[in-house]
Structure 1
């Protein structure tokens, strides 16, 4: 029985599939099985998988397309390893990924879910995604959004089996986010502060094709988070928080002031419940507060003053304050479908 199962669903991924497979079979750690499940692809995906004769590859084919969630759950049932690594068919693992993550989990038996930093690349451009590292910081981040790269995860199968954890089909397009939230109730979490996966960003990504549906589902996950923390938010407060998190704030100056005070109060309550420093919560929310204030930069310096009047603005990276000052002085608001695009 191998120590690790690398689980990779495939659906019409032939264009990028070979580099993905080769990045797994080229790992410096070799005691793994590579479970590839073709979910009824209609392109060359299954044929590409059959080209590889590596004894560690176990190729399974769904007779019909089941969808990602059902295929993932099928994979979790078929995995034989003590640990389960996730991989996507269009991404690339760096050679030492499994070796370093496994060494970390062996040294930290209290941690059941371990991700890493990852590089998002598209064309000749790339961006390092520095997700939070420590358990408490990850838990705070999960209140706002997903704090893991799904394709960077190595998890203990024993934790999943003991608590009956599987992906929930009611949370389509944000099933991994909801899954980590439930896992967080049963185990400690970590991300390694090193890039170990390259995430290929292209028009076929779920986050591109189903952005609106994914956002609506994530809203439901956030609601569940607040309920589990014992924080009752009315519909208006929840809608306002969701708009800030997704860089979709819309409103006048009065609404912006309301958003600022509400965001600070909520950050304080969540930080206290999770036992983390409020300063960390403020800094984490800095970009979101900047995005909201930036949407009203045409109202001038009073918006910049409002930004700095909150502990979130004062604790934010200095670059947010200076960028907002420049926008407010020039009366140049952030515009577009998502305020995050103006960061």
Structure 2
């Protein structure tokens, strides 16, 4: 039985999946299987995979397009491993990701999930930008209520925990964000300060194609989390909170009236009795300052 399963859902990624698989097979760490679940592709995905004569690769195909959540949950059920490393069929694994993430989890029993930094590229593989995700577990736990703190295809998880939690079909298109929140409630989570992924952003990318559905699901998720904090919120306040999550902050909060609106909203959020019982006051002040600076472009 391999120690790790690299779980790759695939849908019409014939153009990219060879590069994806090559990047995994080049990893220094070798105690893994690659589990590809084809969600009813209509292109040449299966033919490309057939060109790989490698016993590490297991290829399954859904009889019909079931969607990302059902496909991933199926993979969780059949994975024969202690750890699950997520990858998407159009991305590229970087560095010594598997060995370093697995080693971290083996040495830190209180952590159930670990991610890493990532690069964004276009459909032709041209570099666009780099994202350096946070490491501190406390920051990440609370930060998830403001925006997603992990790149899904750069995450490695303990199988026992993720199988128990599973992906929730209610949050299709932000199923990862929901899962990270629930992960952070049962164990520590972190990102390692190394680039482990080249994430491909293009018009055919599922997150790009489903922006409306994704944003609707994220707003429902954020509303749920605000309810947990006992922070009442109007539709307008939720949209303001969502704007930060969607990355609109630096442009939106240039206007002084919008800065004032955000200050009043954050005054309300950070007066939450739940938050003030959970965290030290000075830590919360520092966290708020970082969120305003990093996600809203507001100093101080």
SS of alignment partner, residue 132 of structure 1: coil
Higher mean displacement: 276-285 or 204-213 = 276-285
Is residue 259 of structure 2 the alignment partner of residue 261 of structure 1? no
Spell out the pairing of 1:194-205 with structure 2 (5 A cutoff). 194-205=194-205
Q: Deviations over 1:225-255 (max 9, x none)?
A: 1222333334443233223443275998556
Q: 1:238 to 1:195 in 2, by over 3 A?
A: same
Distance 1:255 1:158 in 2: 44
Unpaired runs of 5+ in structure 2?
Answer: none
Residues 244 and 295 in structure 2, CA contact (< 8 A), matched pair in contact too: yes
Distance 1:190 1:134 in 2: 6
Aligned match of 2:139: 137
Residues 117 and 129 in structure 1, CA contact (< 8 A), matched pair in contact too: yes
Q: Deviations over 1:84-125 (max 9, x none)?
A: 000000111124110000111111110001111111122533
Q: 1:98 to 1:230 in 2, by over 3 A?
A: same
Aligned match of 2:151: 149
Give the root-mean-square deviation of aligned CA atoms.
2.2
How many positions carry a matched residue from both structures?
Answer: 291
Which portions of structure 1, spanning 4 or more consecutive aligned residues, are displaced by more than 3 angstroms? Answer: 243-246, 248-256, 267-274, 287-290
SS of alignment partner, residue 144 of structure 1: coil
Distance 1:214 1:172 in 2: 8
Residues 171 and 178 in structure 1, CA contact (< 8 A), matched pair in contact too: yes
Q: CA deviation at 1:47?
A: 0.9
Spell out the pairing of 1:1-343 with structure 2 (5 A cutoff). 1-122=1-122, 124-161=126-163, 164-246=164-246, 247=248, 249=252, 254=257, 256-267=259-270, 269=272, 272=276, 274-275=278-279, 276-290=283-297, 313-314=299-300
TM-score normalised according to structure 2 size: 0.89
SS of alignment partner, residue 184 of structure 1: helix
Residues 167 and 176 in structure 2, CA contact (< 8 A), matched pair in contact too: yes
Unpaired runs of 5+ in structure 1?
Answer: 291-311, 315-343
Distance 2:29 2:254 in 1: 53
Residues 140 and 281 in structure 1, CA contact (< 8 A), matched pair in contact too: no
Distance 2:285 2:271 in 1: 6
Q: 1:288 to 1:264 in 2, by over 3 A?
A: farther
Aligned match of 1:326: none
Distance 2:119 2:277 in 1: 32
Residues 219 and 242 in structure 2, CA contact (< 8 A), matched pair in contact too: yes
